[in-house]
Structure 1
Amino acid sequence: MSNINLIIEERAADIGNFLVGRLLPFRQKRMVGPFIYIDHMGPVKMNERQNFDVLPHPHIGLSTLTFLFEGSIMHRDTLGNEVEIKPGEVNWMTAGKGIVHSERTPEYLRHSEKNMHGLQIWVALPKHLEQMEPEFFHIDSSEIPSWKEDDVEFKLVAGEAFGRKSNVPVYSPMYMLEIKSVTEKKLNIGQHLYGEAGLYILEGGIENDGSEYGPKQILVAKNSSLCGFTIKPNSTIYIFGGEAYPEERFIDWNFVATDKALIEQAKQNWTEQKFDKIKGETEFVPLPAYPKK
């Protein structure tokens, strides 16, 4: 009997001048563990006149995780951070009570051809930390636990699993794993997981209980402890999940909270431009007339 409870197809969505594939939230599954939002950016080629420019915008109640496969993004925020994100590195920004950031093509790449491809993820904060002071961490690719088992490559992007712990400072029991294989292998990894689990196929595919699944799909497991499948040759997949929160989370535009009043206050503060400003940036994304739910 299949352990797959739900299959979520990637849906197109716009972020500024960039098209992304939205995976979470989905109307039948708002969260997987603490993961509340996953966007697949690209792959896209940009010419010397095209650039990635997400103007200053606010967040509350969550941590953002940016993980690139190709390209480069210059991150700037209201804590004064100005950091270039490169492939294999993890950008981990915790909004807490409120932060503003922008994401742009670095200046030295703006007049040349470039590629962009990666994942942008939101992880909801535990209720008691929703209003914490904002934080920012940048973790180099060399600091991310990586290992190989039976010719299958594993990377623990964030959280704890397989008896290992990532250097990304998460705030609840969770995991995000990258698994790559050039050959077909049967994997039984359920004993290393906990809580809820989702599987995102970036390239290649998997087989489970006689059915095959390909790229741009998230598979949500009925039971993470029974997570087993056959990974197809030349495949890259991501396993993500963890302990679900007892409280419901509300999501409105870039804001996440257990209390709708916190979101309404954040919307008002952004409209009145009461959030801190990013040094050197004057543009900003206005509050949408019809916020995304």
Structure 2
Amino acid sequence: MSNTDLIIEERSRDIGDFLVGRLIPFRKKRMVGPFIFIDHMGPEKLGPEKYMDVDQHPHIGLATLTYLLEGEIIHRDSIGTEQRIRPGSVNLMVAGKGVTHTERTPEDKRKGNVFTMHGYQIWIALPRAVEDMAPEFYHISGEELPAWTANGADFTLVAGKGFGKVSPVPTHSDLFMVSVKAGESFGLDIAGNLEGEIGICIVTGKVKACDQEVGAGNMLVSKLDNQCALEVEKGTHLLLFGGAPLEEERHIYWNFVSSDSQTIEKAKRDWEEKRFPKVAGDNTYVPLPKK
């Protein structure tokens, strides 16, 4: 999805073992491991007249991971992919040196249908060695992802490595993303199960951390790598994500991410001068924002 407006930053706060804020980036934490941007889509009712139409726009230097909880999207890109995205599946587009794509409500869902769109669009910065790689796209169905139950909670390893398991989603750095749905209240202690920086996105419900309750829509970042402990309330849905931080600072402008600011400037010129590859049969164009 096009990052036309970065998430408005609410006041971040320090509660002891964790930083708390509204997703990333936020003021006190710009990245968690290689994760540089998380966009919460919805939940929002679509139809009978309003549907999703994200026109053709570019990316460089990152991989976009789309994880839907409700609704459906048709993804098309400049390397020839056309993929229907459904809840529970993982769709990873590796932009590398440059790719364009669109995201739209499927035609068969537009005919007066009313449905909920809800999910996450996640940007993972690529290591410098592969920032300029050829674009790739991967679709992994939900049935292929490692899933298990512990302490009355359902776990799914969406991407990377964790809890002694490996997701089939291709990655280019050490990272993890885990969905946790609590059927009962329980204590979550991830020491020894996940490695690197740790972010916790509260999709629904609430957790207690350092004797403070934190509700849905917030993100916690552990101030200690490889470990964190919190109480998870029954009915809560969490996304755990993070991993080893990249060695170099990352620059970000609109949909462009790079370890080199000049690469960003070149991408801006290339988009304005329409030198990026195009999605076949699509002449839409999202202008470069002026900011």
TM-score bracket relative to the smaller structure: over 0.9
Matched, 1:146 2:147: yes
Partner of 1:271: 272
Alignment of 1:19-58 (within 5 A): 23-58=23-58
Partner of 1:185: 186
Q: Report how far residue 273 of structure 1 moved.
A: 0.5
Q: How many residues align?
A: 277
Q: Is the 8 A contact 2:60 2:256 kept in 1?
A: yes
Provide the rounded CA distance (Å) in 2 between the counterparts of 1:115 and 1:123. 26
Code of the aligned partner of 2:258: A
Provide the rounded CA distance (Å) in 2 between the counterparts of 1:140 and 1:209. 37
Provide the rounded CA distance (Å) in 2 between the counterparts of 1:269 and 1:180. 43
Q: Report how far residue 191 of structure 1 moved.
A: 1.3
Code of the aligned partner of 1:184: S
Deviations 1:226-281 (A, max 9, x none): 31111101110011000001100000000000001101101100001001111111
Deviations 1:21-62 (A, max 9, x none): xx2112321100000000000000012211101101000000
Q: Report how far residue 3 of structure 1 moved.
A: 5.6
Q: Is the 8 A contact 2:154 2:183 kept in 1?
A: no
Partner of 1:248: 249
Provide the rounded CA distance (Å) in 1 between the counterparts of 2:27 and 2:58. 24
Alignment of 1:155-166 (within 5 A): 155-166=156-167
Unaligned 5+ residue runs, structure 1?
10-22
Q: 1:8 aligns with which of 8, 21, 45?
A: 21
Partner of 2:104: 104
Q: Is the 8 A contact 1:40 1:120 kept in 2?
A: yes
Deviations 1:154-173 (A, max 9, x none): 00000001111101101000
Code of the aligned partner of 1:41: M
Q: Is the 8 A contact 1:3 1:227 kept in 2?
A: no
Partner of 2:117: 116
Unaligned 5+ residue runs, structure 2?
1-14
Provide the rounded CA distance (Å) in 2 between the counterparts of 1:260 and 1:27. 21
Partner of 1:82: 82
Provide the rounded CA distance (Å) in 1 between the counterparts of 2:204 and 2:230. 15
Code of the aligned partner of 1:83: Q
Partner of 1:64: 64
Percent identity reads: 46
Partner of 1:18: none
Q: Report how far residue 4 of structure 1 moved.
A: 3.0
Provide the rounded CA distance (Å) in 2 between the counterparts of 1:222 and 1:183. 26
SS in structure 2 of the partner of residue 108 of structure 1: helix
CA RMSD of aligned residues (A): 1.2
Q: TM-score, normalised by structure 1?
A: 0.92
Q: Is the 8 A contact 1:195 1:224 kept in 2?
A: yes
Larger mean CA deviation between 136-145 and 184-193 belongs to 184-193
Partner of 1:15: none
Provide the rounded CA distance (Å) in 2 between the counterparts of 1:138 and 1:25. 26
Q: Is the 8 A contact 1:193 1:224 kept in 2?
A: no
Q: Report how far residue 150 of structure 1 moved.
A: 2.5
Code of the aligned partner of 2:94: T
Deviations 1:113-171 (A, max 9, x none): 12100000000000000000100000001011100112211000000011111011010
Provide the rounded CA distance (Å) in 1 between the counterparts of 2:226 and 2:80. 42
Provide the rounded CA distance (Å) in 1 between the counterparts of 2:195 and 2:187. 20
Partner of 2:195: 194
SS in structure 1 of the partner of residue 226 of structure 2: helix
Q: Is the 8 A contact 1:3 1:221 kept in 2?
A: no
